Structure 1
């Protein structure tokens, strides 16, 4: 009878250890709260003066960490944007309607990944540079700078 109890106890302990190991290693390779972030979701929040309401989000099924980014300067729709953490500045500028005619995009790091509180400021061309571009445009065939 003592052997039977020892066998039952050993079986019970082994089962508990096996269940614990399965629970522990069953999620191997994942961290608690880690999720597949997929492609970034961009969501417009707030509105610029005179802007139409609407738009929406791109639902990829992934739940990414959202951050708020400020876009100002020479863009069509300056304002606050809620985007997935790590979204590149270029994507947010596109979401803001793109550049205005007097924008100087060469002075913006378009590859910059955004985090919460990032401020993307698109500077305007100086008056001198605008005049140079206008003169070049007039001199170019058919008023076009690029083919």
Structure 2
């Protein structure tokens, strides 16, 4: 014990210096193993903060307003689809799950550009496209251009204005008002047959109007 006290008295300055150096080394080493997180270099922060929804990126690429089209006929999933502006018929077919094996694609113009409220009809082999849907496998409704076949345009019940409804043979001013009133009170039509819920639209009337209407 006396020997240790003697060592301490003779060398305490050196011992204190060694202890200080050891503490300093531990502190510096701890910082080296715990670097400060740089938010700007965090890949998760970058991905999250700059992520753009797919539909938004598509719209930016296409550079136009989105359109809704009604795809009918020989496709896997017929229905109404929303696509970026500038899209083509081919992209609408992809959205609908592509054509069925019995589809006659020779009658469909895949390159045709889509417009809002357009009806795309894909016929089966041996089937002729209905005259109201002629024009490269599609017909345009609620659009400011003429039907290339010169026939009655297809009108979407859920988007048509009163003026567009009145152009349909069999729908006058009064019936057009009833259709608009139904939309305000009940929302969108699920099918053309929903017209039967409106007073003045009987079975025969709706049957005659079906080729000229879509939802």
Select the structure of larger CA radius of gyration: 2
Q: TM-score range by the shorter chain?
A: 0.3 to 0.5
TM-score by length of 2: 0.31
Q: Which has the higher contact order (CA 8 A, sep 6+)?
A: 1
